[in-house]
Structure 1
Amino acid sequence: MATSDLNQFLENVNEKVLECTICFKRLQNPKSLNCLHSFCLACLEDWVKTKGKLICPTCSKSYPIPEGGLQKLPPNTFINNLLETIEQFSGKDQIKCACKKRESAIYYCQDCRQYLCLTGSEYHNEFRLFANHKLHSMEDVRSMSPSQMTLLHPPQCLQHNKPLEFYCTECKTPICMHCTITDHNAWEGNHKPISISKAFQTFKETSEALQKSAYD
C-alpha cells in the first residue's frame, strides 16, 4: 500500500483520533479494547455502570471486565505518545537537542524522532544512512494541527506493530495485514476489510455527497 494512500486517509479521518467518542472531548488516560477502539478510562467506567457490562460504544462488541477493573485494560500507546508530543511542542519551554551539548533544538527528525540543534542537524546530514530522513523546523512543528502531527508518525497496529494497510468496514477501524487473518478474519465472513485507498475514496465520496446535500 502506498504511503500516500495512508497519508490521504489519515488526513481525512484523524481529526477524531484524539477524541473520545463517549464524551467527544480530548482523550484522557485512553484505554483500548481488543477491537482497537479507545476511550477515556473515566468515560468507559461510567459507560459500564450504565450498561452493566463492557460493550464497545463504537462497534458493540462485548468483552469481559479484567481482574482489577477497567484500569487494567491496555493503554493506547500511540495516542499517549501523540498527546505527549503535542504537549511538548506546544509548551513554552525550549526543547533541547538530543546531543550531549543539550543546545536548543531548531529541527525535528521525523524518522529518528529526535530533536536537533544546528550542529546536530549538520552531523545528521553527513551520514548517508540519514540522507532521506525528513527534518522539520521547530517553528513548523509547533504550528502543526493534531491532524498534521499525526502524519509525522503514521500509526501502526497496536497488536502486531505493522502498517495499517486495510480498513474493517464492520468495526470501522484501520487494521493491518495480520488483523485480516486473526481478529478481523474476512474468510469467516464476519468482517469486510478493504484497502486504505478504497476506504479513503469511500470517505471522500460520502463527504462530497453530504456537502452537496447540505447546499441543495
Structure 2
Amino acid sequence: MVSMSSFFQKQEEFKDEFLTCPICAELYDGTIHKAKCLPCLHSFCASCIQRYIKERKSFACPKCRQTVQLEAEGDLTSLPNNFIVENLKEYHDIFKLSVPCGNCDDGENAVCFCHDCACFVCQGCVDMHQKMHSLRVHNLSTMTELRKKKNSPMSQCQQRCEKHPKQEMTLYCQKEACKSPVCPTCAHVEHRGHDLVYIEVAVEKTSEELQGAAGKVRAQLEELALIKTTIKQAQNRLMLSFREKKTEMHGTVEELHRMIDLRSKEAYAKMDDLFKNEEKRLEKQEKSVDLLSFQMSSACEFTDSSLSINHHVQLLDSSRQIMQRLQELQNTPLLKDEIVSKEFGVSKKHVAAMGQFHASLKHLCDLTLCVPTSSTSESFSSPDDEFPIPPPPKKSKKPSGKKRVTETDVDSDQCTIKLDPNPWRGKACKAEVTTVDSDNVLILEGGANIQASLKWAQSQIEGFPCPVVDHDNGTYTIAYTPLLYGDNELAVYINDKSMKGSPFMVRAWSSIEAFL
C-alpha cells in the first residue's frame, strides 16, 4: 500500500494514477464507477467493463490481453471489488476532508473516525459521543491524526458479517470450498466441522504465502530482465552482422562489376581488333581484285584495238607479246578460294562459362540466419549442409586390367600439389596433384577420389566445385578460374580427407597487374 508520506508528496499524480479508470479517466466511486479487479490484477470501472464486454461471457483485458471468464454473460458480480483502490480513495478523501459522515443522514463531512463504531463521524456525532455515557468511551481519531497513520482506519476495524451485522468476522474457514472470513454464528451454523482458525492467524499465514509467491515472481522478473538484456545484445549483434555483411556483399558485387567491366572492355577490344583485321583483309582482297580486273580490261582493250587497225605486219610482230600477256592474265588466280564470308560467333567455352556463371549466381551472396558456433563465427552464414560441394563428374573409362588405387593406398598428408605460378582474374589455371602412398612412394595408377573447390577468402559460403582430370598415372589436374581479385582459397580433398596445407592460397591479380 502507498504510504501517507508519498501520498502527500505527489497527491495529484497519486489521484490520476490510482483513483481514476484508465479507460474513461473518471474517479472511482461506489456506484457506476466502482473499481473492479480482473484475474490479471488490472482494474477498471464497472461501467467501462460493462460497455466493453456487452453480453459476452469472456473478454480480453484491455491492458494485457489475458482472457477473463465470467460466470454468466455480461454479469460482473463474479469480479471482486478492488479493495486497494477503496483504501486509497479513503486516503484521498481524508486528505481533501470530504469524507461524508457514516453515522447520520445530515450530509455533513466527517471530522473524526470512531474506531468502535467503525465509521466516520461529523461534528454533531462527535458531540453526541461526548454527551452519552455509553459512547464517551469510544476511541475517536481526528482527520489530522488519520493523515499521519500509514494504515486505513477501516482496516483497523473488524468487518461485520452481512448476515449478522452485530457480529464481527473473527474467524476464517480454511476449507477449500469456503476460504472466507466468517462470524461466530456462521461458523457454528454453516461451517460446523470445517477447519476454522482465528482471522489473525489466517492473515499471517496468507501474508507469508503471498510474500513467498511474490518473491518467486520477482525472481522471474530478474530472469526476464536478463533475457531482455540478452535479446538486446542479440539485436546489436544482428545489426552489426547485418552492416558488416551488407558492406561485404556490396564489395563483392562491386568487385564483380569491376571484373565484368574489365572483361567486357577486353572483349570489346578483341572484337574491334578482329573486325579491323578482317576488314583490312577484305579491303586488300578487294584492291587485288580491282587491280587484276583493271589489268585484264586493259589487255582486252589493247587486243581489240590491235585487231581493229588492220596493220597485218605490226599485228603479227606484237601478237607474241599480246598472247604472252593474255596467257599470264588467264593463268592468274582469281582469289575466289581466299574470299571466305566470316561472322562473329562465340565458342563452346563461352556457352559453358555462361552456364557456370548462371549456376554460381544462385549461390552468390546467398545468406541465411543461423546460430554462430563460436565467438568468431559470422552471424550471417550458410549452414554447412546448404551448399555442399558436389562430387566432380567422373570420367568414364573402359575397363582395363590395371589395378586401381584404394583409399588406403594414398597418403593425403604426403601428396604434393603444384599451383599455377601466375594466376589472375578470369584466367583458366591448372594445379597438378601428385599422389604417393604412406611410404612416400609415387603411385602410378589412377582412381583416387580427388575433389576441389575455389572460393574468395573473405566469403563464408562454400566454394565452387572445380573439375578434376584423372591422368590414370597417379597425377591429377585441377582446373580453376579465380573470379575475384585478391586472396582466393583452393580446397583439395583426397579420398574425403583434406590435403596437407589445404586450403591453398591463390593470389589473383587483375589482368593488367599481371603484365606490369
- TM-score, normalised relative to structure 1: 0.48
Larger gyration radius, structure 1 or structure 2: 2
Q: Which structure is richer in relative contact order (CA contacts within 8 A, separation 6 or more)?
A: 1
